[in-house]
A and B are shown apart, each in its own frame.
Chain A
Amino acid sequence: MRRPHPGLLVLGAILLVLPLLLPNAFYFDIVNRMAINAIVVLGLNLLIGFAGQISLGHAGFFGIGAYASAILPTHYGWPPVAAMGAGAAGAALLASVIAPPIFRLSGHYLAMATLGLGVVISIVLKNETAFTGGPDGMPVPPLSLFGLEIFGERQWYGLFAPVLLFSVWACQNLIDSPFGRALRALHGSEVASQVVGVDVARYKVAVFVLSAFIASIMGSLTAHYVGFVTPNVADFLHSIELVTMVVVGGMASVYGSVVGAVLLTALPQALATFEGWETVVFGAVLMLSMIFMPKGLVPTLAARLGKGR
């Protein structure tokens, strides 16, 4: 694992060549959504795949970021970047307050607690109509960086692609560091990691906060990108989508996160021809991939090719 990451070069090359191959804005939009999902899923995979915990409410943090970027500039005149920072800080703060009690739980109980957290956030967003526009949602002002407004799918691709590349790089660094090793160790054996000095509770909280922070930032960027938010971004279905991407791509696999996000973002588009039956086909694809590749796509293929990880 000490050799330079060849996967990173491949990903970089793909991201560099992709703009030349994409025919129109529609495809840029799909790739942008893939990148957004991939970055959120990278963070979530740290929590689920590497640390062995679960969150069924992560869309809640995504929603906090999205609505911070909608509400603070619209109602209070905040600059979008400040609103994004405030949203991420708020999501991280909420995560760090809620994590110590809920990470005393494990397994099904932890799943229920995180599920509840997500549902509460989504209900608040739906009901605080005066601020959030309720179920109808609200418009989001455009994002400017260094005085330049980011406009159109191609420009947004110019933002999302490097952020994705950076996220993959940072995740790989983290996994192969003492911090990441402690995360994987507490997954493997909590008691063994405790007796060599790993403060298990602190690490669970830290990785939960990190993944919430990432989700919130991406929620903010998505809100600006789409130009409109609805409470759907924070709802249970979105949380499940994110977890599904982790599982299908491969738990505890950095590239699995990216592949899972790419596939599950593309699949509904590819299945659009099934007209109304696409959710059935979607479900069937998930079931089959779990039956034949329970470890997820990337780890299974890597093992087949005899490359270990």
Chain B
Amino acid sequence: MARLEVRNLTKAFGGVLAVEDVSFTVETGIVYSVIGPNGAGKTTLFNLITGLLAPSVGEVRLDDQVVTGLAPHQLAAKGMARTFQNLQICMNMTAVENVMVGGHLSVDRNLFRSMLHFPSLRRADVVLRDRATELMAYVGLDAYLQSEASAMPYGALKRLEIARALAAKPRILFLDEPAAGLNPRETAEIDRLIRKIADGGVTVVLVEHDMKMVMNISDRILVLNSGKKLTEGSASEVRGNPDVIAAYLGKAA
């Protein structure tokens, strides 16, 4: 069954079509990558699907349910989670608390029970803290369990975002350039982590510039150029496509 279906998605900023008539389907449990040159509309596409931007035209379906135009927090309740290209970490909180926020929807958030220290709410919060601790270990952040987020290095914060997204127990996870700014060793680790997440049953959609990583882990690849879908296929199909080579390197004269 298709986890995500995108149909004729279009976004106009004034007269500029940042995303134009893009359609694709992501099957359950795979790693699906979106690639394209700078300015191709990859992040805009992510923002349209995850509700941060409203599409001008088109439809998004999550597990056969139309979710176009829903707010991000409503999409989170339906099992969508994401990370950001430019880090969005709450620097005023500890690392574990950042991950705990990811589990926001799974716990009692009542104002009065919170203020009055209800035992049921405290117990659930302890369980959430334990789960957040496990998730930090899962993404390889054991060393930062006691850290303030503001004291962590960039590479660790990238993983912290992934742990926070996983705390929401998503069915589909959008990763916007998870390897950007990382060195080759860190990139290889993220590579393994993404594979591990996908093997755990979470569908992963990825925007990434690191071609080695994309070709390595993607089950399918969508290529965007100037907001339009250029082609879609397996790694080997995309690699051999002359249009893709032309879009990245320019056409031979």
Contact = CB atoms under 8 A, between A and B. Distances in A.
A196 B165 contact: yes
A224 interface: no
Contacts of A268: none
A225 to B, nearest CB: 24
8 contacts: A2-B129, A176-B125, A189-B88, A192-B164, A194-B73, A195-B72, A196-B168, A206-B111
A187 B90 contact: yes
The 7 closest A-B pairs by CB, nearest first: A188-B90, A177-B114, A197-B76, A192-B88, A197-B105, A194-B72, A170-B115
A178 B89 contact: no
Contacts of A176: 125
A191 interface: yes
Interface string A157-180: 000000000000111011011111
Given A180-B114, A185-B101, A188-B89, A195 B82 contact: yes
Contacts of B75: 195
B162 to A, nearest CB: 12
A204 B98 CA distance: 19
B89 A198 contact: no
A191 B90 CA distance: 10
Contacts of A206: 111
B91 A191 contact: no
B57 interface: no
B100 interface: yes
A252 B111 contact: no
Taking residues whose C-beta sits less than 8 angstroms from the other chain, chain B's interface range is 35 or more
Contacts of A193: 90, 101, 104
A197 B82 CA distance: 11
Q: Which of A173, A176, A200 has the most CB of B within 10 A?
A: A173
Given A182-B101, A197-B105, A173 B93 contact: no
A123 to B, nearest CB: 32
B97 interface: yes
Contact of A181 (B81, B100, B115): B100
B206 interface: no
B104 A182 contact: yes
Interface residues of A, number: 32
A184 interface: yes
Query: Secondary structure at chain A's binding surface: helix, strand, loop or mixed?
Result: helix
A192 B76 CA distance: 11
B108 interface: yes
Contacts of B110: 179
A174 B128 contact: no
B116 A195 contact: no
B182 interface: no
Nearest to B110: A179
Given A188-B89, A196-B167, A181 B101 contact: yes
A187 B91 CA distance: 9
A198 B101 contact: yes
A272 B82 CA distance: 57
Nearest to B99: A196
A145 to B, nearest CB: 21
A59 B52 CA distance: 36
A128 interface: no
Q: Which of B71, B88, B100 has the most CB of A within 10 A?
A: B88
Contact of B104 (A171, A198, A210): A198
A176 B90 CA distance: 15
A258 B51 CA distance: 41
Contacts of B251: none
B109 interface: yes
B104 A178 contact: yes
B145 interface: no
Given A177-B125, A182-B101, 6 more contacts: A173-B116, A192-B90, A194-B71, A194-B76, A196-B167, A197-B104
